[in-house]
């Protein structure tokens, strides 16, 4: 198989004996992005605009901080991010401060049914707008967005190699399946990158591999639980000592479990 720059990370990941080669691929990307955010990206004006707008999820804030590699750089990122978000919230509040004052002064006169006449509609609209803004911020992350774009490109590479490179196809067909997160990513990729015939061929093989290995990991974790029963004290562990860790990965993807 003739490797090119854009195929090397994919083929390297698929050479590993693991529960999900795409987890290895994504984890490497994630570590590289954390390093990049605290390095060259920090000094790019476009980068600061992006981080000010998108922020980071809890997981990636933890990773950025825990590297301890560039706390000053992270401090600068957080400083301008707070300035941006403070400015947005302050503007939204100042534009609705009068509405809140008026609604707070409405007399709580009730009608005969006992219901409040005023529904304070404008105040509720402001609350909805605030919630929507906070939801947008909480669901946005600079690193997640970069990972999603790159992983989508890698899915395209995987599907291309599967039908163009026999060596890669054989390597793919001998995998232990994928975590459910990356199984979904591959399924979504077939809708974007494959023709109907290729989709049927790929999905048929993918799901046969996945089901076989989901059943395998379930049997391994089941045996792991049996080993806590005194009746199985003398029975071998087989391949179940780390089955709990691997089964969690199978369900949710790479996790920093210790």
Q: So where are the chain's domains?
A: 24-106+119-143, 150-252
What is the tens place of the pLDDT at every residue in 109-168? 444 445 555 555 778 888 989 998 888 888 899 999 999 999 999 999 999 999 999 999
Percent of the chain clearing pLDDT 70 (strictly above): 93
Query: Where does the pLDDT of residue 1 fall: very low under 50, low under 70, confident under 90, or very high at 90 and above?
Result: low
Q: Residue 46 above 90 pLDDT?
A: no
Helical pair 196-226 and 142-164, crossing angle rounded to 10 deg? 110
Q: How many Cα atoms within 13 Å fall on the side-chain side of residue 143?
A: 23
Please tell me the predicted confidence (pLDDT) of residue 48: 85
d(CA 106, CA 172): 67
Please tell me the predicted confidence (pLDDT) of residue 60: 95
Dihedral angle computed from the Cα positions of residues 116, 117, 120 and 121, in that order, rounded to the nearest 10 degrees: 120
What is the tens place of the pLDDT at every residue in 202-256? 999 999 999 999 999 999 999 999 999 989 899 999 989 999 999 999 999 988 8
Please tell me the predicted confidence (pLDDT) of residue 138: 82
Query: Where does the pLDDT of residue 108 fall: very low under 50, low under 70, confident under 90, or very high at 90 and above?
Result: low
Please tell me the predicted confidence (pLDDT) of residue 183: 98
Task: Determine the average pLDDT of the residues in 174-194.
Answer: 97
Distance of CA 52 to CAs 95, 99, 127, 140, Å? 22, 29, 23, 11
Listed range (37-46, 105-114, 193-202) with the worst mean pLDDT: 105-114
Please tell me the predicted confidence (pLDDT) of residue 2: 61
The two structure tokens encoding residue 196: 């109907």
Q: Residue 198 above 80 pLDDT?
A: yes
Please tell me the predicted confidence (pLDDT) of residue 175: 96
Please tell me the predicted confidence (pLDDT) of residue 99: 80
Please tell me the predicted confidence (pLDDT) of residue 167: 95
């Amino acid at each position: 198989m003739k490797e090119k720059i854009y195929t090397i990370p994919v083929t390297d990941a698929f050479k590993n004996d693991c529960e999900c080669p795409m987890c290895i691929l994504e984890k490497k990307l994630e570590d590289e992005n954390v390093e990049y955010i605290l390095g060259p990206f920090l000094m790019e004006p476009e980068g600061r605009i992006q981080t000010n707008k998108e922020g980071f999820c809890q997981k990636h804030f933890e990773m950025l901080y825990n590297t301890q590699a560039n706390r000053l750089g992270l401090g600068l990122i957080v400083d301008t991010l707070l300035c941006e978000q403070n400015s947005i919230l302050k503007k939204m509040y100042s534009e609705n401060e009068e509405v809140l004052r008026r609604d707070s002064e409405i007399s709580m006169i009730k009608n005969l049914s006992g219901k409040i006449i005023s529904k304070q509609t404008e105040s509720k609209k402001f609350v909805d707008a605030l919630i929507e803004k906070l939801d947008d911020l909480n669901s946005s992350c600079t690193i997640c967005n970069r990972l999603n774009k790159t992983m989508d490109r890698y899915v395209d590479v995987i599907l291309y190699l599967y039908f163009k490179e026999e060596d890669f196809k054989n390597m793919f067909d001998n995998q232990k399946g994928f975590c459910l997160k990356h199984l979904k990513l591959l399924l979504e990729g077939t809708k974007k990158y494959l023709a109907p015939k290729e989709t049927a061929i790929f999905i048929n093989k993918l799901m046969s591999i996945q089901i076989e290995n989901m059943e395998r990991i379930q049997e391994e974790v089941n045996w792991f639980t049996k080993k806590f029963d005194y009746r199985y004290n003398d029975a071998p562990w087989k391949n179940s000592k780390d089955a709990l860790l691997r089964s969690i990965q199978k369900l949710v993807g790479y996790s920093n479990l210790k």
